[in-house]
Structure 1
Amino acid sequence: MKILVYAISLMCAAWLTKARSETFKVGFYNYPPMMIESGRTGIYQELLDELGKITGHRFQIEYFPYARLAKRFDLGQVDVEPGVFPGWVKQQKVPGVFSVPFGKVIDILVFGPGKHFKVNTPNDLTGRTIGLVRGYSYPELRELFDSGAVHRSDAVSETQLMAMLAAGRMDQILINKAVAQYSILQTPKYSEFVVGDVLGSYDVSIRVHPSKKALLPKLDEAILIMKRSGAITRIYGKYGVSL
């Protein structure tokens, strides 16, 4: 029944829209299973494919290293970035404007073999070095990083972060739970890792450059159509991720 409702919603959206179709530049970075550069697949790719069908707009996707993506957004060279929590970017030059939330990002600690310890609050990490992806912001840890109580060691991507943990170059990393679970399933040697405690849970939206804020009403409407029909849940589920 939900699939039928979704199909009808797609047809209605196509009939009702009168705005001219536009092309929006989307910034991606390799972030499996959310964005998978090899094969141009992943959760966010499929999400934008469906949003394109509903809105009539075209989303032109290009992959960048994360730090470069942030700079391009500031410069207006990227119009759209999916999967962003407003608190992560509020200190950037151009924070952007945001759609209604469409999903969640849950950040967890992952430990190397024999390195696990219980973390009830961020203060339990005092004196430790945490592996993170360069350019990522963690509101819960900002004060600890700024004071030097907790040290960060940056990798260029989640893939490199997991590889560094496997090589013993780090004892613990902070990573998206869905990314960690997907990586462990894809790489058998990662099965020795210990999945630890949750350090943050965020409702994520689509970040839009202020120069393209006219996109938001149709984008919000399309996201709500997909949520009501169960389409977003189905897309996540294809990659073994639950919302």
Structure 2
Amino acid sequence: MRSFVLALLLCWSSFGNAVPAVLRFSAVDSWAMPLAEFKDNHLTGGILHDLINRLAQRLDIPAQIQVLPRNRVELALKQGEIDVRCYVSPKWITNSTEFLWSVPLLYQRDLIVSRQGSEHLASPDAISGESVGTVLGYAYPRLQHLFDRGSLLRDEARNQELVLQKLLAGRYKYAVSNEMALGWFNRDLPDSDRLVSVGTLDEEPVGCLIRNDPAIPAQRILRTLVQMKESGEIDEILARYQ
């Protein structure tokens, strides 16, 4: 009997210290550079590619990255198909308390963007009566009351880069873009063609969430992300894309 109990305790101990064969991360297919670069439905570059792979290296656990539509990610988490989701805020999902959250790692600053010569907006309501370029499936809480009233129409594109390309081509007067994507899009354009911010829509700290499952070394992941943040390693990743 004593031998059986010792064996059982050993099994429990081994399970508690078990390391998964891989850590499964999500990547959203509507992300654009400098956040993410995709080729043949694989994440091949960008800030989040580097962050995920560096985290996996520090943990000594291979990363498996699944590229998914934004509206598919929450379902994949619920069904246990992915373990970690990065570049996300608790405000963006309905069941945020079900997950473990890292410290903020980056900031997403959403801007209202237009072409050269456009006036700065006093408030987002100033674009009522227009069509605005948006990313398919993205929520924009500061504009939702205008969408609900029908006084602002969404002209959607599959990803952030396409939204900005359509703005540059004159498809609409305004678009919503995060600040990093705007800077990356403008970098090779002549000064006369560069898109400009005409107002700030929202600013949100973002980090990683981890599925609350005992088979996932969640606390180790969270500690490692804190170390990466405090050591300046995340700032070094960001600097590569400025």
Per the normalisation by structure 2, the TM-score is 0.79
- Report deviation, 1:212: 7.0
Structure whose CA Rg is larger: 2
Higher mean displacement: 71-80 or 34-43? 71-80
C-alpha RMSD of the superposition: 2.8
Distance 1:135 1:113, change over 3 A: same
- The residue number in structure 1 matching 2:64 is 60
The verdict on how the C-alpha distance between 1:190 and 1:236 changes in structure 2, with shifts beyond 3 A counting, is farther
Q: Could you tell me how far 1:124 is from its partner in structure 2?
A: 2.2
Task: Look up the match of 2:32.
Answer: 31
How many residues align? The count is 222
Is residue 41 from structure 1 mapped to residue 45 from structure 2 by the alignment?
Answer: yes
1:108-147 aligned at under 5 Å gives the runs 108-114=111-117, 116-147=118-149
Contact 1:86 1:95 in 2 (8 A): no
Cα distance in structure 2, aligned partners of 1:186 and 1:82: 28
Change (3 A) 1:59 1:201: same
CA offset digits 1:14-70 (Å, max 9, x no partner) = xxxx54244122221242111111470111111112211222322211323434445
User: Which of 150, 153, 161 is 2:155 aligned to?
Assistant: 153
- Show structure 1 runs of 5+ residues with no match: 1-17
Runs of 5+ unmatched residues, structure 2: 1-16
Residue identity over aligned pairs, in percent, reads 24
Q: Tell me by how many angstroms 1:188 deviates.
A: 4.7
> How far apart are residue 149 of structure 1 and its match?
3.1
1:200-239 matches, cutoff 5 A = 200-211=202-213, 214-239=216-241
The runs of 4+ residues in structure 1 deviating greater than 6 Å are none
